[in-house]
Structure 1
Amino acid sequence: MMLLRHIPFLKAVFLYSFTAFGGPQGHMGMMIKTFVQKRKDVTEDELVEYNSFCQMLPGPSSTQTVMLIALKRGGIPLALVTLLVWVSPAAVLMGLFSFIIHYYHIGYGPGRVLPMHLFSYVQPMSVGFVFYAATRMMQTTIKHVATATIMVCSLVATLFINSPWVFPVLLLLSGIISNFSNRRIPDPLQKPKRINWMHLGAFAGIFIVAGVLSELARTEDWAHGRIFNIFENFYRFGAIVFGGGQALLLMMTYQFVSRHGARVLTAGQMLTGYGIVQAMPGPVFSVCSYVGGLAMSQYGGMWQLIGCVVATVAVFLPSTLLLFFLFPVYENLKHHVVIFRALEGINAAIVGIVWASGIFLFRTIAFDASLSFEWSNLIVVIITFCLLYYSKIPPPFIVLGWLLLGWSLH
């Protein structure tokens, strides 16, 4: 019954899950519009802080940020329901594509092209959302020369250092640098947050049990034992992956495509799934539903469906357990002066990373196959940004407009 009063919030999350394109940075723009400006579930400062904290954790940062908004409103029960509402649409769509790819053998390439013209303007639209998020975050976070310098350095480092480890390193260095100022004093902590060690125990226990069962399934050649391998693989991915969908793709490609003696998917199947998820709303990690389904497809439709579910649950579970354990720890620690001062530099670094993400994404769509500049994409980016910044049009209608335009013009 307690959850009933949160139905309007869950409706907003559900609608958001169908219109959130562009990965974590693109999602931030829509979060600001939906949960800060329209619904006022959190302040803009709180949202930036949540996003900064989630960037320091493994797993899907946008999913964790949405869960923290829910955690503030209704505690762990609402956070878990919000996770289900946010993940389900994308996971169902990607799982469905695993059946389509398997049974109808369609994908990218000559004679095997998916009808993706509906999403023609999704990528430049997403870049507009990213630039909008960066602009709003900069207005609330960058307050003096030191934070502006951190932002610019983080932007440059993200653009030119091609490694997922650049993110945690930048956040650490930015936190250290901002501690050289002694002007900011945190408010006293009124009541320490309770830390539930059970979440950390569950995280470690599942990791160990999953590894043991996976190895037994392999060595003992259990019937349908691959499902245990899939759970262990995706749980491990969710526990250690930094750098978002790109880093996840590398891990999955090694595990299921290129690993010696363990090839489960073809490179074409993996790339097709990753291409499709770029055009899907919701978390990029929903591609795991597609990969898990295809990995179990040889055992029949029911096992393929189980593969979709198991892979999705496994990849989101570890980051959820870590979030519930570490966020109260963080809430207590941030009232210590060192952590409090570090947050200013960390938030400034996040703004630089968001700007860099927008520039990188635009660079990938700026030129067509003949290396001619795509002015239409630039126009879409500018229009999207202006609609978000200067108008009160809800983001879902902006997304729907570009989808309809892509469908009508091709």
Structure 2
Amino acid sequence: MRHDTDFSSSSFWSLFRIFLVLGLTSFGGPVAHLGYFRTEFVQKRQWLSEQDYAELVALCQFLPGPASSQVGLAIGLLRGHYRGALAAWLGFTLPSAILLIVFSVSLPFLQSELTQGVLHGLKLVAVAVVAHAVWGMAKTLCNTPAKVSIMTLSAVLILLLPVVWLQPAVILLGGLLGYLYLTNETTTGTRTLPLTLSFSAANAFGVLFLVLLVGLPLFSQLYPSAALQLVDIFYRAGALVFGGGHVVMPLLQAEVVPTGLVDADTFLAGYAAAQAVPGPLFTFAAFLGATATGSITGWLGGVLALLAIFLPSFLVLAAVLPYWQTLRSSAKVSRCMAGVGASVTGILLAALYQPIWLSSILSPMDLALALIGFVALQFWHRPAWQLVLLGALAGGLLALSF
């Protein structure tokens, strides 16, 4: 596979445009987002190998915050340093954040049959995208019986024990099995990525992450203000949640509903709206910040909440990446990461069934449309954004015809 090794060549605006398209078209939740990213950056642009990408996904699964957004941040950081990370985050996050703030004053529209049909069509596209990602990753990362066995074990564990904390445990198990049983496997696909972050910068980011985590609650008590209260609530949510967007919901509910910042009905309506838009589910924070009672509301509240909930993701990622880069160059670690790649493929395979398949394939027509989408990606080599448009159109037409 050819790789574009000139990682510093991507300008802010070129990265922003790439991630903006993803932010406008990546429906289906975090697992589907990883499928869209793989199509864009591994298959289409060849910025990463399958092994590089699987390792990056595995790393972000261990960190607090939204794994898919952190993968995007990491790719932006590799392509364009801090400016690249900012471009990637803005492009991928702004569409859903803006839509959710707008939805805060137009929630009744979400209940129309046409809208529900369009959303269902987009779910079917997500099935095709994730199936395409599993197919491609399995061919590259699970190309021996031992790796297929690790993939299968990982998928079985996730399917039979569907608890959030199990995913990092399964990845650790995959790494251990890789170390023990993949001693004769080659890992020539792994290369040194041109990360320009220094260890001193990484340490500074790690210290800042901890200082804000401990300091914001103290300052919000000592100097009460609506803005500081919002930043404290959403920073802690982004810093302490593991498992992605859906897991942050109960943490945010406990912070904003009992305190009266957002009433229960509005909270649930906003959470439903967050499922309907492309991009990361963490942008639910923008809706809550915009609708919270107090002096900081509307667009300003939405922006503050959005920045606060994503800031920990960047700080933790920047603190960890240089150390991860050093570790992965070890031959022993390479064996572990080969097992991790197979394990990540198994986790993605399990997610294809639950929640994506079970929530999307409800009839033979649904299966037929998802199958066409998979074939279009895998064999006709159509871009994902075309499938998004066609899936929305098909879902809307089906809703109007029944």
Superposition TM-score tier, normalisation by shorter sequence: 0.7 to 0.9
Alpha-carbon separation, structure 1, partners of 2:383 and 2:113: 33
User: In the alignment, is residue 180 of structure 1 matched against residue 180 of structure 2?
Assistant: yes
Partner of 1:393: 382
Partner of 1:130: 130
Contact 2:18/2:91 (8 A) holds in 1: no
Kindly provide the amino acid, as one letter, of the partner of residue 278 in structure 1.
Q
User: In the alignment, is residue 194 of structure 1 matched against residue 188 of structure 2?
Assistant: no
User: In the alignment, is residue 171 of structure 1 matched against residue 171 of structure 2?
Assistant: yes
Partner of 2:287: 290
Partner of 2:309: 315
Tell me: CA distance 1:186–1:131, structure 2 relative to 1, closer, same or farther (3 Å): closer
Kindly provide the amino acid, as one letter, of the partner of residue 23 in structure 1.
G
Contact 1:124/1:380 (8 A) holds in 2: yes
User: In the alignment, is residue 273 of structure 1 matched against residue 270 of structure 2?
Assistant: yes
Tell me: CA distance 1:212–1:3, structure 2 relative to 1, closer, same or farther (3 Å): farther
Partner of 2:5: none
| Residues 28-79 of structure 1 deviation map (CA, whole Å, 9 limit, x = unaligned) | 2222322233323223332222212111111111111112222222222211
User: In the alignment, is residue 118 of structure 1 matched against residue 108 of structure 2?
Assistant: no
Alpha-carbon separation, structure 1, partners of 2:264 and 2:128: 31
Contact 1:99/1:293 (8 A) holds in 2: no
Contact 2:267/2:288 (8 A) holds in 1: yes
Kindly provide the amino acid, as one letter, of the partner of residue 170 in structure 2.
L
Alpha-carbon separation, structure 2, partners of 1:11 and 1:83: 11
Structure 1 residue matching 2:321: 3-state secondary structure: helix
Structure 1 residue matching 2:104: 3-state secondary structure: helix
Structure 2 residue matching 1:340: 3-state secondary structure: helix
Match of 2:85 among 54, 79, 86: 79
Tell me: CA distance 1:3–1:266, structure 2 relative to 1, closer, same or farther (3 Å): farther
Alpha-carbon separation, structure 1, partners of 2:368 and 2:336: 38
Q: CA deviation at 1:83?
A: 1.2
Kindly provide the amino acid, as one letter, of the partner of residue 36 in structure 2.
M
Kindly provide the amino acid, as one letter, of the partner of residue 154 in structure 1.
S
Partner of 1:44: 50
Contact 1:57/1:242 (8 A) holds in 2: yes
Partner of 1:325: 319
Match of 2:370 among 381, 389, 393: 381
Kindly provide the amino acid, as one letter, of the partner of residue 267 in structure 2.
M
Partner of 2:76: 70
Contact 1:179/1:338 (8 A) holds in 2: yes
Contact 2:373/2:387 (8 A) holds in 1: yes
Kindly provide the amino acid, as one letter, of the partner of residue 282 in structure 1.
G
Partner of 1:241: 241
Contact 2:128/2:370 (8 A) holds in 1: yes
Q: CA deviation at 1:92?
A: 1.0
Tell me: CA distance 1:236–1:113, structure 2 relative to 1, closer, same or farther (3 Å): farther
Alpha-carbon separation, structure 2, partners of 1:19 and 1:29: 12
TM-score by length of 2: 0.88
Tell me: CA distance 1:84–1:126, structure 2 relative to 1, closer, same or farther (3 Å): same
Contact 1:25/1:133 (8 A) holds in 2: no
Alpha-carbon separation, structure 1, partners of 2:383 and 2:222: 52
Contact 2:15/2:84 (8 A) holds in 1: no
Q: CA deviation at 1:268?
A: 2.8
TM-score by length of 1: 0.86
Partner of 1:140: 140
Q: CA deviation at 1:395?
A: 1.1
Structure 2 residue matching 1:42: 3-state secondary structure: coil
Alpha-carbon separation, structure 1, partners of 2:24 and 2:78: 23
Partner of 2:353: 359
Q: CA deviation at 1:161?
A: 1.8
Partner of 1:404: 393
Identity rate of aligned residues, in percent? 27
Kindly provide the amino acid, as one letter, of the partner of residue 292 in structure 2.
A
Alpha-carbon separation, structure 2, partners of 1:191 and 1:97: 40
Partner of 1:161: 161
Q: CA deviation at 1:17?
A: 1.1
Q: CA deviation at 1:115?
A: 4.1
Alpha-carbon separation, structure 1, partners of 2:141 and 2:192: 22
Kindly provide the amino acid, as one letter, of the partner of residue 73 in structure 2.
M
Alpha-carbon separation, structure 2, partners of 1:183 and 1:4: 37
Tell me: CA distance 1:11–1:365, structure 2 relative to 1, closer, same or farther (3 Å): closer
| Residues 166-201 of structure 1 deviation map (CA, whole Å, 9 limit, x = unaligned) | 111111122122211333587898999731211112
Alpha-carbon separation, structure 1, partners of 2:52 and 2:27: 22
CA RMSD after TM alignment? 2.6
187-196 vs 319-328, which moves further: 187-196
Partner of 1:304: 298
Structure 2: unaligned runs, 5 residues or longer: 1-7
